[in-house]
Amino acid sequence: MENKYGAIYTKQHYGLVGKHSAVKVCHWTKSELTGGEGCYKGTFYGIHSHQCIQMTPAVNSCTENCSFCWRFNGFESMHISYEDDPEFILEESIKAHKKLLSGFKGNPKVSREKWEESQDPKHIAISLTGEPTLYSRLGEFIELATRRGFSTFLVTNGTLPMVLEKLSHLPTQLYVTVAGPNKKIFNELLNPTIGNAWENFNRTLEILPSLDTRKVVRHTLVKDVNMPYLDEYALMDRTAQPDFIECKGYVHVGQSINRLSSANMPPHPIIQQFSKELSEKLGYFYTSDRKESRVALISKDPTKARIDFSSLNGNLVQSASI
């Protein structure tokens, strides 16, 4: 990759893929591989962290510069000029992920069983950094991953609803970040780089019910900035009608420490209270939470939270949908 930020990404242990993609082994993958806890997505949905690839097809491109983002925001544009083939990105992402894991093979904390399973990843989180819907062949990438037997979680900021409407293949689970309860806070906290971001975002909420896959609204909560605003969030959630809502507290780490303070981190009991009050307003169910991740899950139907991985095979198209 020819990337002026390449040295920074490499120092931060990214595996660069082609012209505009990257992978990074997350904390929870390392933790589960060495016998510790896995990601909260394991608790909520049954994902195995040690078999998860965290990646992005838009490492340098985004439509927002969120104040709470802990990633390196070296975003050069809102356009990917020369796009790599989706099959190349998938294959090279798998290779890069395995290369980043290679040093764990001799770790005495890593069992042979866990190591062998890690070499056969089953899940792709398209969520590392940037805005993945800027990659015009995203639907093809998801379809290829699905045919290979991967479950896919796609995280978007919702500023490109036209992409979601026309996406040729939907992910196993679609996340939309909902962190601005009104236009003023949305613009100040998420720092959009397009003038109609707020309008586009609301259009995404409107089309979500029509998208035939599992849908998640993620409220990233910043104390004294965008919470509680329960009535405003409830109105948005009624429009979106997601299957699940994750209420996740801001964590004062990474690049975000230059923009926010540690006082902006809501304590876990506040996250729990917010989630329970929101679930009551919506008629949802408080389903689960993870203190160390400052996150709680509320569900339309809590019995459908965990994914049936037995259905994820080469013939899967949308069978993982609720």
Domain-by-domain residue ranges, the chain?
6-304
Average pLDDT on 96-114 reads: 95
Instruction: Let me know if domain 6-304 sits in CATH 2.60.120.1030.
Output: no
Task: Give the tens place of pLDDT for each residue, 169-220.
Answer: 999 999 999 999 999 999 999 999 999 999 999 999 999 999 999 999 999 9
Q: Which of 27, 29, 13, 34 has its CA nearest to residue 100?
A: 13
**Backbone phi, psi, residue 3, to 5°:** -145, 120
Checking if the pLDDT of 76 tops 80, the result is no
Rounded Cα gap, residues 163 and 203, in angstroms? 12
pLDDT for the residue numbered 79: 82
Checking if the pLDDT of 319 tops 60, the result is no
Q: What is the pTM of this model?
A: 0.93
Checking if the pLDDT of 313 tops 60, the result is no
The overall longest dimension of the chain from CA atoms, in Å, is: 53
39: helix, strand or coil? coil
Task: Give the tens place of pLDDT for each residue, 19-49.
Answer: 999 999 999 999 999 999 999 999 999 999 9
225: helix, strand or coil? coil
pLDDT for the residue numbered 3: 62
Checking if the pLDDT of 63 tops 60, the result is yes
Rounded Cα gap, residues 95 and 27, in angstroms? 19
pLDDT for the residue numbered 320: 31
Compute the CA torsion angle 162, 167, 171, 177 (nearest 10 deg). -10
pLDDT for the residue numbered 146: 97
Checking if the pLDDT of 273 tops 80, the result is yes
**Backbone phi, psi, residue 267, to 5°:** -60, 155
Checking if the pLDDT of 317 tops 50, the result is no
Average pLDDT on 94-102 reads: 97
| Tokens describing residue 54 | 């965290």
In the sheet with 14-17, reading across from the earlier edge strand, the strands are 14-17, 21-24, 52-56, 123-126, 151-156, 173-177, 214-221, 244-249, 295-299, 285-290
Q: Is 208 left (phi over 0), alpha (psi -120 to 50) or beta?
A: alpha
Checking if the pLDDT of 238 tops 50, the result is yes
Arithmetic mean of pLDDT over the chain? 92
Query: At which residue do the structure tokens 């975002």 appear?
Result: 201
Query: At which residue do the structure tokens 């045919």 appear?
Result: 147
Compute the CA torsion angle 57, 121, 98, 126 (nearest 10 deg). 20
Q: What is the CA radius of gyration of the chain?
A: 19
Q: Report CA-CA distances (Å) from 185 to 180, 194, 228, 232, 234.
A: 5, 15, 12, 12, 16
Per cent of the chain over pLDDT 90 is 84
pLDDT for the residue numbered 308: 81
| Tokens describing residue 318 | 């949308």
Compute the CA torsion angle 171, 18, 66, 25 (nearest 10 deg). 70
- For residues 301 and 311, the model is more confident at 301
- Is the distance from CB of 298 to CB of 287 less than 8 angstroms? yes
Rounded Cα gap, residues 255 and 264, in angstroms? 14
pLDDT for the residue numbered 113: 96
The full length of the chain comes to: 322
Checking if the pLDDT of 316 tops 70, the result is no
pLDDT for the residue numbered 311: 64
Work out the burial of residue 79: count CB atoms within 10 Å of its CB; fewer than 13 is exposed, 13-18 middle, 19 or more buried: exposed
